[in-house]
Amino acid sequence: MFSLLIALLMGLKGQCQDEPESVRCGYRPAFPNTSWLPFREMLEVQDGEFPWQVSIQMSQRHLCGGSIIHRWWVLTAAHCFPKTLFDMAAVNVTVVMGAKAFSDIHLERKQVQKIIIHKDYRPPYLDSDLALLLLATPVQFTPFKMPICLQGKEMSWDRCWMAEWVSAYGYGVSQNMQLQKLRVSQLSWKACSARVEQLSRKMLCAWQEMDTNGNCWGDSGAPMVCANWGTQRLFQVGVFSWGLSSGSRGRPGMFVSVAQFIPWIQEETQKEGRAYTLSGGPESSLTCGPQGLLALGLGSQVLLAAMLT
């Protein structure tokens, strides 16, 4: 009887793990918990530290940064795909993921099936500077490929980072690129509007956190991710849009506010039959569908019968 129960529960476990949405967003399984928010943070990106970060490439050359938000979807900036490139983009654009450097053994390349530009994006105005990339095949999540949670509403955070792809041979060189990070802090809209003319309410501002090292050139489409003290879950707050020497003091980097575009993300992904669902608070990493719940109920009955005989 117990052997039957064990077999049943093992089958249930496999079924639950196969559920595509069972992976918890915003966590970093390969990044040691002891390294979370260290007092003296290492500038070099560690293995699995930003498992949602991707390089969007055209003809295998880095074009923009982006983030995995779902097994089918990557979020980036719309201005990465000007009209001159858009017509040929779908067949030439790939996404590199699962790596902190282009030489990484964990690197995986996926073809982009469709590029969706926000309907209100009107260059040179960047108020709605967002794009969604539908992948040709779904991401198989591993400790080095994880989705980032999206911020459902604007709020204040204790600590934020921006990571971007750079080359040791100079900015703009696509070979042997690697991730570097910068700790940033958000400015209030009022403080930022004093530095940026005609600041849109759909934009967020951030610059380098005081007393920290590092520098960012400004990788279009790169995510700004944030967390609160005492937690290990990160949320994407913004998508980098523009700003010279992003994050430097005196000239903030400009990010599209993700929270204000959640309805658009849900609407567009639903149209493609690959709906994005906003994640709530931390939940169990083992998620079961109705069949799983039925099997669990049956397993409980078997266990009870075994205990009574």
Active site residues: 79, 129, 220
Question: Residue 193 and residue 187: Cα distance in Å, rounded?
Answer: 9
Question: Residue 301 and residue 308: Cα distance in Å, rounded?
Answer: 11
Question: Residue 7 and residue 227: Cα distance in Å, rounded?
Answer: 40
**By the 8 A CB rule, do 15 and 223 touch?**
no
Whether residue 124 is preceded by a cis peptide bond, meaning omega within 30 degrees of 0, is yes
Question: Residue 64 and residue 117: Cα distance in Å, rounded?
Answer: 15
Q: What is the CA radius of gyration of the chain?
A: 21
Planar angle of CA 87, 91, 95, nearest 5 degrees: 115
Distances from the Cα of 276 to the Cα of 98, 109, 146, 208, 271, angstroms: 21, 22, 15, 31, 10
Three-class SS state of 83: helix
Q: Where are the alpha helices (DSSP H) in 50-158?
A: 83-92
**By the 8 A CB rule, do 226 and 197 touch?**
no
Burial of residue 5 (CB within 10 Å: 0-12, 13-18, 19+) is: middle
Question: Residue 36 and residue 15: Cα distance in Å, rounded?
Answer: 32
Question: Residue 84 and residue 67: Cα distance in Å, rounded?
Answer: 24
Which amino acid does the sequence have at 114?
A: K
